[in-house]
Amino acid sequence: MSENIHGFVYQKDADGIVTITMDMDGPVNAMNEQYRQAMAVIPQKLEAEEGLTGVVFASAKSTFFAGGDLKELCTVPKGGEEHQFRVIEENIKAPLRRLEKLEVPVVAAINGAALGGGFELCLACNRRIAFNGPKAVVGFPEVTLGLLPGAGGIVRSIHMLGLQKALPFLMEGKRLKPSQAQEVGYVDQLVDSIEDLIPAAKQWIKENPVAWAQPWDVKGHKIPGGDKWSPAITNLLAVAPAATYQKTRGLLPAPERILAVSGDTVSVDFDTALRIESRGLAYLVTTPQAKNIITSSFFQLNSINSGISRPADIERTHVTKLGILGAGMMGQGIAYAAAKAGIQVVLVDTSMEAAEKGKAYSAKVLDRQIQRGRMSEQDKEVILARISATTEYAALQGCDLIVEAVFEDITLKNQVTRDVEQFLAKDGVLATNTSTLPITLLSDASESPENFIGIHFFSPVDKMPLIEIICGEKTSDGTLARAFDFARQIGKTPIVVNDSLGFFTSRVFGTFMDEGARLLVEGLNPVLIDALAKQVGMPVGPLAVQDEVSQELTRKVAETHEKMGVLNSLGDNSCNAAVSEWMISEFGRGGRHHGGGYYEYAADGSKKIWPRLYELYFNPEIEMSREDIKDRILFRQIVESLKCLQEGVLRTVADGNVGSLMGIGAPAWTGGFLQVANTYEYAGEVGPKALLIRCEELAARYGERFSAPEILREKVRSGASFE
């Protein structure tokens, strides 16, 4: 006989072993209200069970347990910390403590992913047995969502593994395969088939009938590796805060709170540490950083990858043969990504030397993978065999998709389009990998503009997860669907935008570099400009990134735009274009790979500001608050993103947030350049109104480029947020 208790199927066998199979409503088991209802009943039922010899927790889903209910957590408001603390303590932790104090062995039979709260349930069991399969994974990803493991994950990990061993898994959110988890000590036993999980769990219970006391509940228990009195632990806790701050720049509270709770765990008793952990999670769920990160990096990212921007009524497609025109930096990266995904690639360049060099790039990347133990020599041979290097356009015959990745020159791109589209398969797609040039304009050279689209890759292609798909005025839904499917086929996240000079990512990124140039021209110390950009959360400063992009490229793009009569249309980036032109024409400084730019580069890879920059621009008498400098760098990009949404360049808020995080380097704490408007706090206000107030302050001091777009004013009037 079995009994369903709020989605937990309770069944006792003839040996007195109760198997609890979690089969909650919805696609996954989650730590939500239904879970809390079930766990309010199950420990008490087990305690009263006559003849109980053991308990097995299993799952009827393909995943074991997915963790906390993020939608529910996102609704906890500021001021709701105390209530959330009570929920964690009374409805989550208390049942787990009762479970692990049962005087019978309890086993977790892990058939699939057990992450976050799901893995915390496993740690409350006496033994963890996992299916050694590709989809089984364990770990604590909470830190990547702005949270901490609050159902005992921090405390139990440290009491199991020790602080030194556990801390990296808690602080980095690394997911472990079953074999890795066993090596670490998180998992005790592996089985090779899911069918063997429950029998293995029951067998262990029969062989270990008294193995029910958790180590931390046994008198005399000591934390492995030492507690706060251990010199090694004292030293670790002394240096860890500085190392954490260096990574987070003080912008992400979750890592700091995890470290604090970990330090307390080695200083107090087990149950006190659990309460401290609960307070940490109750605090973090109300922070704007957590709400921003969860909204964009979980919900919006998942919606994009699942196809929210893809035409729904068109059948899925796969590219079997891909043509790439141009074997340079972008072309060679695209070739590798496609070949790795199993696609036959024809890599075309004007000389065999260039084409072969492009193919050799894949060999170098694969060699690095082999050195790291992620691939074999056989894998390398198979992938390289998929890439054909050639100078002949005829080799493109029958391609489902051809990606043109030649220089940003309209004449050249138009000529290539006319030369190669004849070789496309029926309904094949011709794509241009351009970062700024309008797709509608480029499609004029095509006989089938409805089959023409922009696919903007990011460099280096093998590492960057984003693709920006740009639809021209005549691009068909079928072409968009095929481009979207290709992006997912090679493991990329595709955002979809409408045609515009610079599209979304390049347009906003251009304002970042331009504001850096403006601050320089106004007399600020160049070191301070780049340092404050990093303090606000940008990966690198605007001057440093301009050197990487190169002043030479900025000049060429400006020249191209001038020919098109649209020099200042990229968010009025004329200052950056002018400074780049002057740096090249007067001093021959075209960027890092052109002999140096704002910086000088040494042979050992180090760099320092070019000394003449101080003579040319620096004014030590300039007065500007650091908050204004940081906000100028950040708000310039926020305002431009809002304009892109207002003008219809961005189709959805999700595309803007995910695109800015993955393609531009928006600070993680913002959740993206649109999401930050929902939670921004300033002058006693929160949300769009606070952002509007700050925009108007900056506009009054520094110019109209900071003035709030009408779409922000509309949100303030309606009281709505950006969703």
The per-residue DSSP string of 73-125 comes to HHTPPTT-HHHHHHIIIIIIIHHHHHHHTSSS-EEEEE-S-EETHHHHHHHTS
pLDDT of residue 565: 61
Res. 571: pLDDT tops 50: no
- pLDDT (tens digit, 9 = 90+) per residue, 465-490? 999 999 999 999 999 999 999 999 99
Q: Are 326 and 404 in contact (CB under 8 A)?
A: yes
The rounded mean pLDDT for the chain is: 95
pLDDT of residue 568: 45
- pLDDT (tens digit, 9 = 90+) per residue, 652-709? 999 999 999 999 999 999 999 999 999 999 999 999 999 999 999 999 999 999 999 9
Percent of the chain with pLDDT over 90: 92
> Both 479 and 531 in a single domain?
no
pLDDT of residue 567: 46
- pLDDT (tens digit, 9 = 90+) per residue, 168-193? 999 999 999 999 999 999 999 999 99
> Both 335 and 434 in a single domain?
yes
- pLDDT (tens digit, 9 = 90+) per residue, 431-461? 999 888 899 999 999 999 999 999 999 999 9
> Both 466 and 527 in a single domain?
no
Q: What is the pTM of this model?
A: 0.93
Residue bearing tokens 């996954």: 28
Res. 493: pLDDT tops 60: yes
Looking at 625, 641, 659, the residue that finishes a domain is 625
- pLDDT (tens digit, 9 = 90+) per residue, 291-332? 999 999 999 999 999 999 999 999 999 999 999 999 999 999
Looking at 607, 625, 643, the residue that finishes a domain is 625
Mean per-residue pLDDT for 228-253?
94
Does residue 638 fall inside a structural domain?
no
Q: Are 658 and 304 in contact (CB under 8 A)?
A: yes
> Both 514 and 490 in a single domain?
no
What distances in angstroms separate CA 26 from CA 22, 61, 66, 151, 522, one per listed residue? 12, 10, 11, 22, 57
Query: What's the CATH code of the domain at 95?
Result: 3.90.226.10
Query: What's the CATH code of the domain at 522?
Result: 1.10.1040.50
Does residue 144 fall inside a structural domain?
yes
| Count of CB atoms situated within 10 Å of the CB of 623 | 6
Res. 570: pLDDT tops 60: no
HSE-CB at 518 with a 13 A cutoff on CA atoms is 17
Peptide bond into 178 cis (omega under 30): no
pLDDT of residue 569: 45
- pLDDT (tens digit, 9 = 90+) per residue, 595-606? 999 999 998 989
What phi, psi does 5 have (nearest 5°)? -110, 95
> Both 275 and 161 in a single domain?
yes
Query: What's the CATH code of the domain at 392?
Result: 3.40.50.720
> Both 229 and 261 in a single domain?
yes
> Both 169 and 140 in a single domain?
yes
Which of 641, 674, 653, 680 has its CA nearest to residue 512? 641
pLDDT confidence band for 384 (50 / 70 / 90) = very high
> Both 191 and 157 in a single domain?
yes
> Both 493 and 538 in a single domain?
no
**Tokens found for residue 559:** 């020249």
Query: Residue 47 has what DSSP assignment?
Result: H
Domain count, the chain: 3
- pLDDT (tens digit, 9 = 90+) per residue, 509-565? 999 999 999 999 999 999 999 999 999 999 999 999 999 999 998 888 887 777 666
Residue bearing tokens 């310039």: 636
pLDDT confidence band for 11 (50 / 70 / 90) = very high
Looking at 227, 260, 284, the residue that finishes a domain is 284
Mean per-residue pLDDT for 260-274?
97
> Both 70 and 105 in a single domain?
yes
- pLDDT (tens digit, 9 = 90+) per residue, 56-100? 999 999 999 998 889 899 899 999 999 999 999 999 999 999 999
Res. 374: pLDDT tops 70: yes
**Tokens found for residue 175:** 């997911």
Mean per-residue pLDDT for 496-501?
93
Res. 233: pLDDT tops 90: yes
Q: Quick one: residue 589, left, alpha or beta (phi over 0 = left, psi -120 to 50 = alpha)? A: beta
State the Cα–Cα distance between residues 149 and 140, nearest whole angstrom: 7
Which residues span the domain enclosing 167?
2-284
Does residue 695 fall inside a structural domain?
no
Does residue 277 fall inside a structural domain?
yes
pLDDT of residue 612: 95
H-run or E-run covering 215? none
Mean per-residue pLDDT for 354-365?
96
pLDDT confidence band for 566 (50 / 70 / 90) = low
What distances in angstroms separate CA 625 from CA 250, 494, 586, 631, one per listed residue? 19, 38, 32, 10
> Both 537 and 404 in a single domain?
no
Does residue 478 fall inside a structural domain?
yes
Does residue 680 fall inside a structural domain?
no
> Both 485 and 546 in a single domain?
no
